[in-house]
Amino acid sequence: MVGLSCLALAGLLACGDGSVEGDGPSEGHDDAAPTSDVGLETSVGDLDAGRLPDGAPSPIDAVTPDGADTKSPGGDTGPSIDAGPAPHPARGAALPYDEYEAESATTTGTLLGPSRVFGDLATEASGRRAVKLTSSGNALHFTSKHVANSIVVRYAIPDAPGGGGLSGSLAIYVDGVHRTDLALTSKYAWIYGGESGSSSNDPKTGGAHHFYDESRALVGEIPAGATVELRKEAKDTSEFIVVDLVDLEEVAPALAMPADAFSIVDYGAKAGDGADDGPAIEKCIVAARGAGKSVFIPSGTFESTSGAIDVQGVSIGGAGMWYSELRGFFARFRCTGNGCRYRDFAVTGETTLRDDGSPESAFLGGAGTGSSLTNIWVEHEKTGYWVGDSPTDGLLIHGCRFRDLFADGVNLCNGASHSIVEESHARNTGDDAFASWSPTSSGGVNVGNVFRWNTVQLPWRANCYAIYGGQDNRIEDSTCADVVEYPGVLLAQQFGSHAFAGTTSVARVTLTRAGGPMYGQQHGALKLQAFDTSMRGFSVRDVDIVDATFSGIHLQGKDAIDGLTLENVNIGGAGTFGVFIDGDAHGTATATNVVVTGAASGGSKNAAGGAFVITRGAGNVGW
């Protein structure tokens, strides 16, 4: 969701440098107005519906209830023990870890959900189910599918009575032997103010949500077939620990410093001492750029507490996203020219609420040309990469993880064009996970951006994917699951965006348990909204919509929507209608091979009557 114009940040950056919307391309959408366990391990890739050749239908064999594993049609049930790495998923990112749902484990805790009621802990959990550990000794355990040496746990613990968070711990055992205690905190969780709230830490405000955070650790080798146990022990004084899911990954050894690199430690940075390393890092950047060298961040945690770090014309790399970390309130890199290249490290901020007057993005500024973000892990920031205050062309974002944010994962803004976001994962973002926003107020038209082979889970506010105006932008071969409050995919003429031009395409995308309530509306899983002016030129092809909270496809807006083509779209188990056309909608569309099954309220509803006309081709069933 976007809300803020880029120019609103004058004095900070010329275009939304991460201060994103209030809900649009970046945050709270200003469009106001208007479920059982199926096996233990859910590979994130299992949210796919299978890669399909152009023009081929992809019928949904069965609708998956809340909490069940969603396997690809064709029966891919994930790798067996010792089977080695899984092949690239048909849709979504090729993620290097196995994901285990807590509700599918053996547990002495309490099962929560399924639920899609705003404010329930289960509603913000993967599959809309989780496990609650309340007493010392409560535990859950499962069998590892592959060799691993790291663990990520998505969890929730209570907030402090006055807000601000509490601390806790969760013991990890492998085959009965204690490996580590994961540190837990609710400092970065528990936001108040109801569905649209993202900027209050005060429990008196009411309307609590955004409950979950993650904790990770390298724990030594976990053999394939090992029993992995998560246990609440007496030393943890939390009233409860809710476990949503666990990721196990075999992390490669730390990367060595390249021969052509300058190390930040040679310019005064020191890992783990709590002192501000930002000035030392900037000195290293200047020296490396002058010498035609790269910058290396070795293993360890380095602090940035005095200001964003300016970058241009240099490559900054680390020992790996599990080893090298920049941490702090000013853990931010600001691109000020061309050739800003980052790879193989983590950036962890200190953001605890959304303040759109503060540019709290891990990466910000226009990216010029020749810039890239590769194998980067971002957490506890407002946004991951807000591309904003100067032109950007050809930015590549590959293999990144954007977790536990207060706004967007990536927002391509201000004329950012010909950029690719691929093979990346976003979870628990507080606005659009991946968005292209082309505002008229602060830059040129976004042209030819592509979001492909990405996996998004559990945005706690806004969409998995969104395109706000611009020309020939695309969302392809990707997945989206468990949207809490908004559509899975939103194509919208709003937030002062340039008109849509050319063809905006959504192809080979799977939306699972998407759509939700926001601003008094029931938003469909895939929505087109003409809010500012008329919009045209859309291709939605080979899309599977599974178990939508409300409608599968949703058309809305006071202005016309024309030139919409729906082809090979399968909608199974929608909570209301398969296709819902709002009463204010008007325009035209064509539909071929659109199949609706199991919609609770009926196959379709055209509340606009003759104002919106759908021309039916062959193969339409159930609506």
Return d(Cα 512, Cα 489) in angstroms, integer.
Answer: 11
Does 114 sit behind a cis peptide bond, omega within 30 degrees of 0 on the bond before it?
Answer: yes
Distance of CA 148 to the CA centre of its chain: 24
- Three-state DSSP state, 426: strand
Distance of CA 239 to the CA centre of its chain: 29
Distances (CA, A) of 240 to 112, 156, 158, 243, 265: 12, 8, 7, 10, 41
- CB distance 130 to 243 below 8 Å: yes
- Three-state DSSP state, 266: helix
Q: CB atoms < 10 A from the CB of 11, how many?
A: 7
- CB distance 218 to 254 below 8 Å: no
Measuring CA to CA, which residue among 256, 156, 148, 159 is closest to residue 203? 159
Q: Enter the tokens of residue 258.
A: 């390249």
Per-position DSSP letters for 571-590, written without gaps between them: EES-SSEEEEE-TT-EEEEE
Q: By mean pLDDT, which of 59-68, 138-147, 154-163, 513-522 is the weakest?
A: 59-68
- Three-state DSSP state, 552: coil
- CB distance 376 to 47 below 8 Å: no
The single residue listed with the structure tokens 């969104």 is 466
**The pairing of beta strand 577-581 with beta strand 553-556:** parallel
Query: ∠ CA(182), CA(187), CA(188), 5° rounding?
Result: 95
* Residues 534-563: tens digit of each pLDDT: 999 999 999 999 999 999 999 999 999 999
Q: Is the pLDDT assigned to residue 408 strictly greater than 70?
A: yes
**Domains along the chain with CATH numbers:** 6-31+253-286+294-616 (2.160.20), 97-249 (2.60.120.260)
* Residues 317-363: tens digit of each pLDDT: 999 999 999 999 999 999 999 999 999 999 999 999 999 999 999 99
Per-position DSSP letters for 202-242, written without gaps between them: -GGG---B---EEEEEEEEEE-TT-EEEEE--TT---S-EE
pLDDT of residue 74: 30
The single residue listed with the structure tokens 């049930």 is 77
For 278, the enclosing helix (H) or strand (E) is helix 278-291
Higher-scoring residue by pLDDT: 64, 356: 356
pLDDT of residue 441: 87
* Residues 420-475: tens digit of each pLDDT: 999 999 999 999 999 999 999 877 899 999 999 999 999 999 999 999 999 999 99
Q: Is the pLDDT assigned to residue 53 strictly greater than 70?
A: no
| Cα dihedral 569, 573, 575, 578 in deg (nearest 10) | 30
Return d(Cα 285, Cα 230) in angstroms, integer.
Answer: 42
- Three-state DSSP state, 289: helix
Q: By mean pLDDT, which of 60-69, 81-90, 113-122, 214-223 is the weakest?
A: 60-69
The single-letter DSSP state of residue 287 is H
Query: Which residues are 410's β-sheet partners?
Result: 385, 434
Measuring CA to CA, which residue among 312, 304, 311, 313 is closest to residue 360? 304
Q: By mean pLDDT, which of 193-197, 278-282, 395-399 is the weakest?
A: 193-197
Return d(Cα 66, Cα 312) in angstroms, integer.
Answer: 47
Q: Enter the tokens of residue 83.
A: 């089977």
- CB distance 281 to 308 below 8 Å: no
Confidence grade of residue 86 (pLDDT, cut at 50, 70, 90): confident
Taking CB atoms within 8 Å and a gap of at least 24, the contacts of 356-359 are 356/3, 356/4, 356/8, 356/19, 356/20, 356/21, 356/22, 356/27, 357/9, 357/12, 357/19, 358/12, 358/19, 358/382, 359/9, 359/12, 359/13, 359/17, 359/18, 359/19, 359/308, 359/332, 359/386
Strand residues in 298-339 grouped as ranges (E): 300-303, 309-311, 314-318, 324-327, 333-335
Radius of gyration (Cα) for the chain, nearest Å?
23
Q: 3-state secondary structure string, 144-206? A: CCCCEEEEEEEEECCCCCCCCCCEEEEEEEECCEEEEEEEEECCCCCEECCCCCCCECCHHHC
Residue 248's contacts (CB-CB under 8 Å, 6 or more residues apart) are 97, 98, 100, 144, 145, 146, 148, 150, 151, 222, 228
Q: Provide the mean pLDDT of the chain.
A: 88
For 279, the enclosing helix (H) or strand (E) is helix 278-291
Confidence grade of residue 50 (pLDDT, cut at 50, 70, 90): very low
Q: Enter the tokens of residue 516.
A: 């939700």
pLDDT of residue 442: 77
Residue 123's contacts (CB-CB under 8 Å, 6 or more residues apart) are 113, 115, 116, 117, 484
Work out the end-to-end distance of the chain between its first and last CA atoms, rounded to an integer number of angstroms: 30
pLDDT of residue 33: 33
Q: By mean pLDDT, which of 21-35, 121-135, 189-203 is the weakest?
A: 21-35
pTM of the model: 0.89
* Residues 190-227: tens digit of each pLDDT: 999 999 999 999 999 999 999 999 999 999 999 999 99
Q: Is the pLDDT assigned to residue 593 strictly greater than 80?
A: yes
Mean pLDDT of 292-302: 98
pLDDT of residue 303: 98
pLDDT of residue 19: 33
pLDDT of residue 391: 86
Q: CB atoms < 10 A from the CB of 220, how many?
A: 12
Confidence grade of residue 75 (pLDDT, cut at 50, 70, 90): very low
Return d(Cα 448, Cα 185) in angstroms, integer.
Answer: 41
**The pairing of beta strand 434-437 with beta strand 410-412:** parallel
Higher-scoring residue by pLDDT: 75, 196: 196
Mean pLDDT of 586-615: 97
pLDDT of residue 393: 96
